[in-house]
A and B are shown apart, each in its own frame.
Chain A
Amino acid sequence: MIRRAAALLAAAALAAGTAGCGSAGGAGEGKTLTVFAAASLKAPFTTLARSFEASHPGTKVTLSFAGSSDLATQLGQGAPADVFASADPANMAKVTGAGLAEGSPRNFASNTLTIAVPPANPAGITSFADLARPGTRVVVCAPQVPCGAAAVAVEGKTGVRLAPVSEESSVTDVLGKVASGEADAGLVYVTDVKGAAGKVKGVPFRESAAAVNTYPITALRGGRNKDLAGVFLDEVTGAEGQKVLADAGFGRP
């Protein structure tokens, strides 16, 4: 009898403990801003967060980087955050459509595609058409992902059909396969090449203008620090934020 009670108690304690761990650590007093941002924004947003903390003493910015679609899903499941920055309008639409946004989203940056090749460029890629050469191993993002949708748009505009050997679910995987030399070329963002610091070489192509990804940002209704969120948004869309984004390779919104 006692043993059974002890077992049930233990099970309950375990459940309660993990539930406690499950809640996001954002139960902070003082000012903590939780920002969900697309993975490609990692470098510029980290810089912006540090400068924001410096200029607003007593605040702390918690950053969470992941694929825009994953973030949108988490927000839909009730994850607590103050700000959401998406890599494309489609994923932002999921959030606004669910009534989670505070006010309307603002566009703050854009990103264009570029061809990434291993530093030595063994296959001698110089243009988008070269990617369709038989025997060339090209890796792209899958159409379901923002960078993949952009690639499909470029294909449509140029009329060049690609036959990739792999359609990855994240730009990081594309970059990885090019950097390791497995692929001759990959289609990634300009910002990814810049962030790769020499592991890949970028080959820009003029048709990239045909598919530009616009990045929207919004404050969230479920956030605890709406005022602070507004300030952060101003920072991002303001002069200093735009400079940081441009340094990272992003284009104007």
Chain B
Amino acid sequence: MRRPGGRRHGYSGIPRWVAALAVVAAAFILLPLAAVVARVDWPNFLPLVTSDASLTALGLSLRTAAGSTALCILLGVPLALVLARGEFHGQRLLRSFVLLPLVLPPVVGGIALLYTFGRQGLLGRGLEVAGIQIAFSTTAVVLAQTFVALPFLVVSLEGALRAGGQRYEAVAATLGARPGTVLRRVTLPLVLPGLASGAVLSFARSLGEFGATLTFAGSLQGITRTLPLEIYLQRETDADAAVALSLLLVAVAVIVVGVSYRGPGTPPAMPSRAPSRTPDAEPAEARR
């Protein structure tokens, strides 16, 4: 059984040139961040990020990102299960299409959502008649974020499900557990690390979502103007405010991801062949 934290300096086997390129890669991500930090107007930082518009935007961003993450879990878990464990025609095609939101420019995604849920849209037409208006609402923001973030959760979870295999589920079934019980008591608990990391990725993507939100939901303070949209607007007049808010968004993202992202985790524990700490107890009947 692996004990975390008990690290010894052994042999990592990483070639030196790989380590050098890794440094370049890390610098590539961290240097622009450092450039932003260097540009911040520190004396004015706190007033800039605590202004009415900023706090409203931050609150809206956090609420909608949480909502879309919940929606991603609700929709993504069944989809991942079906892709990982199901057997049906067109499965491979479906798996490719699930990745679509990753490839589409977000603005294109927003246009597509507009054509679906907008006033004249495929579904929007019927919803308008029923009195449900989606465009320009906070619901639209959540939908836009879910659209772009869902693939992260599905791909992450599907990988974890495939790695885990189905042996435990088979055993559970032979012990009399219905499929629903197997899902609740065996599958999900075992794949929780993969699900959690997928959820964190989805949350992070939702937090940063911009293009689809702008095109589909519009921009109105308190209703649809999330933090990225607020930054985009502030850029027009107050560059300092835009920089300060950018740093705020980065800080929030770093905190959320840093606290909760543990990586996909290891597959469900392989049957233990390792000798246990206590020797196999000899029952009394062994004595003759």
Contacts and interface: CB of A to CB of B under 8 A. Distances in A.
* Direct A–B touching, Cβ under 8 Å: yes
Interface of A: 3-4, 6-8, 11, 67, 69-70, 73, 137, 139, 142, 144-145, 164-169, 173, 176-177, 180-182
Main secondary structure, interface of B, reads helix
Contact of A142 (B20, B114, B136, B233): B233
B120 interface: yes
A182 B135 contact: yes
20 contacts: A3-B16, A3-B17, A7-B17, A8-B20, A11-B21, A67-B236, A69-B235, A73-B235, A73-B239, A137-B136, A142-B219, A144-B233, A144-B236, A166-B217, A166-B220, A168-B214, A168-B218, A169-B232, A181-B119, A182-B120
Contacts of A69: 235-237
Contacts of B214: 168-169, 173
B224 interface: yes
B21 A7 contact: yes
Contact of B218 (A70, A144, A145, A166): A166
B203 to A, nearest CB: 25
B109 interface: no
Contact of B236 (A142, A165, A166): A142
B56 interface: no
B193 interface: no
Nearest to B20: A7
Contacts of A164: 220
B15 interface: yes
Given A67-B236, A142-B233, A145-B236, A166 B20 contact: no
Contacts of A176: 215
Given A4-B17, A165-B220, A144 B136 contact: no
Given A69-B236, A142-B236, A169-B219, 15 more contacts: A11-B20, A11-B21, A70-B235, A139-B218, A142-B233, A164-B220, A165-B136, A167-B219, A168-B219, A169-B229, A169-B232, A180-B118, A181-B120, A182-B119, A182-B120
A182 B114 CA distance: 8
B237 A177 contact: no
Interface in B207-254: 214-215, 217-221, 224-225, 229, 232-239
B24 interface: yes
Nearest to B136: A165
Contacts of B118: 180-182
A67 B232 CA distance: 12
A3 B20 CA distance: 10
Contact of A11 (B24, B218, B238): B24
A139 B217 CA distance: 12
A4 B20 contact: yes
Nearest to A90: B237
Contacts of B239: 73
Contacts of A73: 235, 239
